[in-house]
Amino acid sequence: MARRRPPTVHGLAVVDKPAGITSHDAVGVLRRRLGERRVGHAGTLDPDATGVLLVGVGSATRLLQFLTAQPKRYVGEVVLGSTTSTLDAAGEVTGRFDMLGVTVDMARAAARGLTGAIRQVPPMVSAIRVGGRRLHELAREGIEVEREARPVTVHRFDVESTDDPMVLRIDVECSSGTYIRSLAADLGAALGGGAHLRGLRRTAIGEFTIDEAVPLEEVNALLPVVAAMRSRPLVTVDADVASLVANGRQLGRALGFEGDGPWGIVDGAGELLAVYGPTSTADLVTPVVVLNATSSAWTGRSGRGRSESSE
């Protein structure tokens, strides 16, 4: 069997995913454009949702684990007075309620009750596996199963009125794993009726915001691999320590490892060599990911895409 060639393109794309395609579809577009098989994303967006999707290419795919858990920010609209089978506008209406008396102040009070550390039941249209099958696969077959509530954190849940008294605009900052469609449904229930979500847009993953996101068809450059560690502390090492890093050796915290980690290890040129994490020994850190390929970013011929030489 022929051995698969190692990737030659490495970097991170901050994509503004359009509506109508899956996150996997977006990955496929970049995989074909770059001619690379090793491409992945951090944090699935529903097909109807738009906004920030982080896509790793080549060695950057090994760092997606540090991006997936980053907090997220979303904006969208909550439509009062009707529930749907999918908790959003794509589903069939399953209930109608008279909620004309709901005010924005009432909605804000209800949102406060859904802020902080809460437990949330994943919707049937989610990708979570139960009994070896994804929930959305079961939902398509008309099967509904019991789902265990999961702990999530809603850091901020802002509610504003719109020109339509039955539609509220929301702005949510939350932990990874929070379902905004479930928040919309829970808000409707807390107001004594029902509601569903529409127009969901993710505006940030950690420090990556919609302001730097590029439409999928206009991605003509990648950020360097080190950008994946943007919100993490970086420790610069000399050539001698770099050789230890390349061999997966543990390092002493005295080299500049402060806090709880993980830490990115970079050389004098700002090239990411590895990611290290804590150990049970207080004065040592250990490799989590060691990169053995160049992390220089791919740069296209033209367009809005951009590359960065350092962070």
Q: Which residues contact 155 (CB under 8 A, 6 or more apart)?
A: 71, 115, 173, 174, 175
The domain in which residue 258 lies consists of 229-290
Q: Which pLDDT belongs to residue 138?
A: 53
* Count of domains for the chain: 2
- Mean pLDDT, residues 41-51 taken together: 91
Q: Which pLDDT belongs to residue 311?
A: 24
Whole-number Å distance between alpha carbons of 197 and 77: 6
Do the domain assignments include residue 220? no
Amino acid at 206: G
Q: Which pLDDT belongs to residue 204?
A: 98
Whether residue 299 contacts residue 222, with contact meaning beta carbons closer than 8 Å, is answered with yes
Domain check: are 247 and 198 in the same one?
Answer: no
Domain check: are 244 and 198 in the same one?
Answer: no
Active site residue ranges: 46
Do the domain assignments include residue 158? yes
pLDDT in tens, 86-130: 899 988 999 999 999 999 999 999 999 999 999 998 775 655 666
Domain check: are 194 and 247 in the same one?
Answer: no
- Mean pLDDT, residues 272-286 taken together: 95
Mean pLDDT of the residues in the chain: 88
Domain check: are 113 and 152 in the same one?
Answer: yes
Listed in sequence order, the DSSP H helices in the chain are 23-34, 65-68, 104-112, 135-140, 180-190, 239-246
Whole-number Å distance between alpha carbons of 143 and 6: 42
Provide the β-strand partners of residue 209. Answer: 204
Do the domain assignments include residue 299? no
Rounded (10°) CA dihedral 120, 21, 305, 28:
100
Domain check: are 165 and 267 in the same one?
Answer: no
- Mean pLDDT, residues 265-282 taken together: 94
Q: What is the CATH number of the domain that holds 101?
A: 3.30.2350.10
3-state helix, strand, coil split of the chain in percent (to 5) is: 25, 35, 45
Domain check: are 82 and 198 in the same one?
Answer: yes
Lowest-confidence region among 143-147, 211-215, 227-231, 272-276: 143-147
Do the domain assignments include residue 139? yes
Do the domain assignments include residue 176? yes
Query: What sign does the dihedral 109-113-117-121 (CA atoms) show?
Result: negative
Q: Torsions phi, psi of 185, nearest 5?
A: -65, -40
User: If you compute the radius of gyration of the chain from its CA atoms, what whole number of angstroms results?
Assistant: 22
Q: What is the CATH number of the domain that holds 235?
A: 2.30.130.10
Whole-number Å distance between alpha carbons of 310 and 75: 30
Which among 186, 184, 165 is positioned nearest to 104, based on CA atoms?
165
**Local structure of 204: helix, strand or coil:** strand
pLDDT band of 287, cuts 50, 70, 90: very high
pLDDT band of 84, cuts 50, 70, 90: very high
pLDDT in tens, 49-67: 999 999 999 999 999 999 9
Lowest-confidence region among 55-64, 191-200, 281-290, 296-305: 296-305
Whether residue 83 contacts residue 194, with contact meaning beta carbons closer than 8 Å, is answered with yes
